[in-house]
Amino acid sequence: MLRSVLGKTLRDQRRSLLFWSLGFVAVTLIYVAPYRSFVEQGLLETRESAIYEAIGFDQTPAGYLRGTVFGLIGPLLLIMAATTYGARAIAGDEEDGTLDLLLAHPLSRARLVLERAGGLGAAVALLGAVLWAAVVTATRVADMGIPVARLTLAVLGLALLALTFGAVALALGAATGRRGLVVGVTAALAVASYVAFTFAPQVDALAFLEPLSPFTWYLGDNPLVGPPDALGLTLLVAVPLALCALAVAAFERRDIAV
Amino acid sequence: MNGVALRTEGLTKDYGRGRHRALDGLDLEVRTGEVYGFLGPNGAGKTTTIRLLLDLLRPTAGRVEVLGRDPRRDGVEVRRRIGYLPGDLPVRGRDSAGDLLTFLGHLRGGVPAARVRALADRFELDLRRPLRELSKGNRQKVGIVQAFAHDPELLILDEPTSGLDPLQQQEFLRLVREARTAGRTVFMSSHVLGEVQEVADRAAVLRAGRLVAVEDVDTLRERAVHEVELHFDAPVPAAAFADLPDVRHVSVDGATVRAVVEGRADALVKAAARFTVLTVRSHEPDLEDAFLAHYASEEAGRRAA
Ligand SMILES: Nc1ncnc2c1ncn2[C@@H]1O[C@H](COP(=O)(O)OP(=O)(O)O)[C@@H](O)[C@H]1O
Ligand SMILES: [Mg+2]
């Protein structure tokens, strides 16, 4: 783990990765495992309502998962984790003063950004895998009857969604070196994207925003029900890659703060 | 042994939107194999210069050449051959000093563990301690170990002795002398005249981002300013100490005379010899005072010219 920047990055994150993992497992179990008893107690019988429709919630297994783990709490947590890692990748370390010493070694700036991006990708992949295992287990327990392939597709989309915002944070950090600003702007973008996906379709003047939201790329066609959204997934891969390239370009041309 | 290890030409750096000029047209040339002191009071621009040499900062104007290369274009290659001691070693996370040194060694493709241990032992540094529990002095030792561990051709050291106690400072200066004996080049910044006088061959003096002088260290020593205090057996007339060459800031207070001597003390001693001298005390002021004196006279000279 001390042999490369990427290994060191993951090693430095081992505690926080463990805590996030425990959080994902706990949240998934709390939401999903009691699904049957929620249904039996009638807790999920909702009236027709614009809000429920907007967040895609209904009491079918797919609707319930879409409205909770995949549409709300999962994105919230995984985007938070990815944003934290993305912001720390460059801006956080720069504010702590550790980039100065690192970049005084035979390590190019591009290499640093790419290894840090790799660390971000690995962290999100790990948390995605934990979430996947928890969701698969919990849906079995609750006897929800959703095929593993569909769950896998949904978790993949969710992980890529989080990676997108992590990459936004990485790129902003590479450009500015200011962690507070990075977290603030990334969080604002994530909220705006969620709103654009969830509520813009109901307002004619804002409807054009919906296809621009990464949430749409991930959840526009409910991956638990519909066919895989090839364009959406492509965008969710291409945008983080493009952001990494931007991060390298921005980081190459500026001063490193002590 | 007469190559050039590093060179700057008209190196200029402005910070921030306010365009604060931290470095203004610096011309430096450090020869291969010499120990070069880079002297200046706090805020003079030493750290700025050093970080420009490492391509951590980008110049506003001017050129940098390190080991014959452009650190912007060939940064990785240049930095492979450099050891850098930062002004303050950052400490984050739970890593031990040994972990950090292992990691940094790997960035260089591996550094002999025996050499790391030998250096750590030399400075009595416990490598198992977590970094964030280390005192400033112990952090400085970690910095020294990582800078010297791969035995680089060029050492760029930013205030290397800060935080070290006097014995460790001596040990560090021995390490620098050994590096020179082995043919390495050392560029070290400092605001302490004494340590530069002890190890350096030449020194540059920087103030407010401008190069004030480049001198052999012996010349620098002659330039050194001393504060002198003379006690007489009876009050002395102030006129006897007015307008003496190389003597400034004279104050006569009854039987006591205080003055600042720059260069030779001859005139002051001869003036004092006309009276009965009880005691003479002389001490070297800190660098800042010494420099300010030197610059003040220099600038006055320029204005007069
Ligand atoms: N990141 C920065 N932003 C703005 N001003 C800076 C920055 N770093 C240094 N300075 C200013 O540049 C000048 C030179 O600083 P520095 O190179 O650190 O001097 P030294 O190392 O000789 O003490 C000082 O006036 C300092 O305040
Ligand atoms: Mg400094």
Kindly report, residue by residue over B87-115, the tens digit of the pLDDT: 888 877 788 999 999 999 999 998 999 99
Is A254 within 8 Å of B58 when comparing Cβ atoms? yes
CB distance B146 to B131 below 8 Å: no
Phi/psi zone of residue B124: left (φ > 0), alpha (ψ -120 to 50 degrees), beta? left
Residue B1 has pLDDT above 50, yes or no: no
pLDDT at B292: 54
Residues B142-171, mean pLDDT to the nearest whole number: 96
Given strand B247-253, what is the order of strands in its sheet? B247-253, B256-262, B225-232, B277-283
Token pair of A51, please? 């809000």
In angstroms, the CA A247 to CA A241 distance is: 10
B chain contacts of residue A258, beta-carbon cutoff 8 Å: 47, 51, 86-88
Residue B248 has pLDDT above 90, yes or no: no
Return the biggest CA–CA distance within chain A: 63
pLDDT band at A140 (very low <50, low <70, confident <90, very high): very high
pLDDT band at B285 (very low <50, low <70, confident <90, very high): low
Q: Is B103 on the interface with A (CB under 8 A)?
A: yes
Residues A29-53, mean pLDDT to the nearest whole number: 81
Closest CB to A105: pick one of B51, B90, B107: B107
How remote is the CA of residue B158 from the centroid of ligand 2, in Å?
7
Instruction: List, as ranges, residues with CB under 5 A of the ion ligand 2.
Output: B 46-47, 87
Structure pTM?
0.88
Question: What's at B108, amino acid-wise?
Answer: R
Domain spans in chain A, listed from the N-terminal domain onward: 5-252
Kindly tell me the sign of the dihedral angle through the C-alpha atoms of B56, B163, B294, B296.
positive
Residue B224 has pLDDT above 80, yes or no: no
Name the least confident of A47-51, A198-202, B134-138, B141-145. A47-51
Q: Which residue has the higher pLDDT, A203 or A132?
A: A132
Residue A207 has pLDDT above 90, yes or no: no
**Closest-lying ligand to the alpha carbon of B22?**
1
CA B50 to ligand 1: nearest atom: 17
In angstroms, the CA A152 to CA A156 distance is: 6
Q: Is A252 on the interface with B (CB under 8 A)?
A: no
Instruction: Select from B130, B148, B149 the least CA-distant residue to B139.
Output: B130
Residue B182 has pLDDT above 90, yes or no: yes
Number of residues that this document lists for chain B: 305
Show Cβ contacts of residue A131 under 8 Å, excluding neighbours closer than 6 positions. A24, A28, A74, A78, A155, A158, A159
**Closest-lying ligand to the alpha carbon of B209?**
1
- The CATH superfamily label for domain B4-221 reads P-loop containing nucleotide triphosphate hydrolases (3.40.50.300)
* A96: nearest CA partner in chain B: B90
CA B13 to ligand 1: nearest atom: 12
Kindly provide the ipTM of the predicted complex, given to two decimals.
0.89
Residue B129 has pLDDT above 90, yes or no: yes
Pocket residue to mutate for ligand 1, from B14, B39, B47, B212, most atoms within 8 A of Cβ: B47
Provide the CB-side half-sphere exposure for B137 (13 A, CA). Answer: 12
Residue B291 has pLDDT above 70, yes or no: no
Cα distances from A253 to residues B55, B60, B292, in angstroms, run: 10, 12, 37
In angstroms, the CA B116 to CA B122 distance is: 10
Q: Is A29 on the interface with B (CB under 8 A)?
A: no
Domain spans in chain B, listed from the N-terminal domain onward: 4-221, 225-283
- A236, containing H or E segment: helix A230-252
Whose CA is closest to atom 18 on ligand 1?
A: B47
Angle at CA of residue B25, ends B20 and B26, nearest 5°: 110
pLDDT band at B301 (very low <50, low <70, confident <90, very high): low
Residues B23-39, mean pLDDT to the nearest whole number: 97
pLDDT band at A202 (very low <50, low <70, confident <90, very high): confident
